[in-house]
Amino acid sequence: MKRKIRILIAKPGLDGHDRGAKYIARALKDAGYEVIYTGIRQSPEAIAQSAIQEDVDFVGLSLLSGAHNELFPEVVQRLRRQGADNIIVFGGGVIPEEDIPQLEKQGVEAIFTPGTPIKDVIQFITTNEIRLTH
Contact between 57 and 5 under an 8 Å Cβ cutoff? The reply is: yes
Applying CB under 8 A, which of residues 77, 80, 94, 100 lies at the interface with other proteins?
94
Applying CB under 8 A, which of residues 61, 104, 110, 115 lies at the interface with other proteins?
115
Question: Which positions from 49 through 68 interact with other proteins, judged by CB under 8 A?
Answer: 49-50, 52-55, 65-68
Burial of 66 (0-12, 13-18, 19+ CB in 10 A): middle
Q: Is 70 in the site for other proteins (CB under 8 A)?
A: yes
User: What share of residues in the chain are helix, strand, coil (percent, to 5)?
Assistant: 45, 20, 35
- Count interface residues toward other proteins (CB under 8 A): 63
Applying CB under 8 A, which of residues 89, 96, 109, 124 lies at the interface with other proteins?
96
Q: Is 33 in the site for other proteins (CB under 8 A)?
A: yes
**What whole-number distance in Å separates Cα of residue 25 and Cα of residue 83?**
26
Applying CB under 8 A, which of residues 81, 82, 85, 123 lies at the interface with other proteins?
82
Q: Residue 64 phi/psi, 5° resolution? A: -120, 5
Contact between 13 and 67 under an 8 Å Cβ cutoff? The reply is: yes
Q: Give the residues lining the site for other proteins (CB under 8 A).
A: 1-4, 6, 13-19, 22-23, 25-43, 45-47, 49-50, 52-55, 65-71, 82-84, 94, 96-98, 113-115, 117-119, 134
